[in-house]
Structures are given as C-alpha cells and as structure tokens.
Structure 1
Amino acid sequence: MDNSEIQQILISALNLQDAHVTGDGSHFQVIAIGDVFAGMSRVKQQQTVYAPLMEYISDNRIHALSIKVYTPEEWQRDRKLNGF
C-alpha cells in the first residue's frame, strides 16, 4: 500500500477535511483532521481511524499504524508543532 491510497480511504470513509500519511510500505503514520472527532474520547478517535483500514491491517498490507487525530480547530492551533 502506498501513502496516497491510505489517505484517500480515510478521507472518503470518514469525510475528513484532510489527512497526512507517511510511511515505508507497511509502517505508516497518520494525521487525520476532521469534525468527526469532536467530542470523542482518544480511544474512540483511534477506533474511528482504524475501522476503514481493518481489511488492510488484517491482511498485513498495513503492519503498523501510528495515529494523531485533530479537529480542524485543533489542527489550526497545533499544525506548526507537526511541521506543517
């Protein structure tokens, strides 16, 4: 799998404003930005991002996934900390 495939899956499935994906082919880092995360616990946010990717995790196309989640307001505040 490549970074853009994961990005498109997440944006489409979760109706995200943006997603940034980096990785080496099996280990990926995801920054997901969307209103969908407002009011969710951290665990629920993680589960929400994992859900559309479970098929790829179960067949080992994605071996490891690191996730950071932001609402658009949080992203505006914190994006410089993430190098964007």
Structure 2
Amino acid sequence: MQIEQQLIAALQPLQAQHLQVINESAGHGGYFPGKESHFKVVLVSDKFAGLRLVQRHQMIYAAAADLVAPAKIHALAIHAYTPEEWQGQAPDSPQCAHAPKSTG
C-alpha cells in the first residue's frame, strides 16, 4: 500500500467530514517519480471542537505516528478545522527552497 493510502487509513479514527491528503513531494528537492515524502492534510472533524490548534495537530500526528519517519513521511503540512470553521478551501503550501528547477 502506498504511503498516501496508509495516511488516509490512519486518519480514519478522526471521523473526518472532509479529508484531503495531497502528495506534495514533486515540489521538493530530491524528488523522483513515485516519491512520497511531503504531504498536506486538510481535515475537518467535530473531534476538533474546543481544541487549540496545537492539540488538533497532536491528534493528527498521533494517528499518523507510524508513518512520520525518515524513511516515510518527511514533512506533513496540517490544516485542521471544525465543520463550523471550514470555509471549503485550505491555504496553498509555500514553495520549497529546494524545489526542482524547471528548465526552459
């Protein structure tokens, strides 16, 4: 199973009303086709109600603990919302300073 699918499965206990797992590895240094190292998670759940942002991130990191390791996920951008906070779109990720340079 690919890391992306493993991450989706690991986040299921958070009972997301909306879940996006986006592989952003291609925008980072050392990328090669099929690499899975950098991900963005957008998760909307009632389980975040009353929690500070850091507590929400801790819940996601705890759920994905087995995957956040040097040989697996190197970086995980997290956007965690309650249904009341969710506006339908998460912010774009910043450009990586070590992103592959386009030739052209």
TM-score higher than 0.5:
yes
Match of 2:46 among 24, 28, 35: 35
| Residues 81 and 9 of structure 1, relative CA distance in 2, 3 Å threshold | closer
Counterpart CA distance in 1 for 2:37 and 2:19 is 17
Moved over 3 A (4+): 80-83
Contact 2:7–2:67 at 8 Å: present in 1 too? no
Deviation at 1:58, TM superposition (A): 3.0
Which residue of structure 2 aligns with residue 6 of structure 1? 7
Q: CA RMSD in A?
A: 2.0
The structure in which a higher percent of residues are strand is 1
Counterpart CA distance in 2 for 1:18 and 1:82 is 15
Which residue of structure 2 aligns with residue 50 of structure 1? 61
Give unpaired runs (5+ residues) of structure 1.
none
Give unpaired runs (5+ residues) of structure 2.
26-35, 93-104
The structure in which a higher percent of residues are helix is 1
Which residue of structure 1 aligns with residue 20 of structure 2? 20
Counterpart CA distance in 2 for 1:81 and 1:47 is 19
Deviation at 1:81, TM superposition (A): 5.8
Match of 1:71 among 73, 79, 82: 82
Deviation at 1:7, TM superposition (A): 1.9
Deviation at 1:5, TM superposition (A): 2.9
Counterpart CA distance in 2 for 1:69 and 1:48 is 10
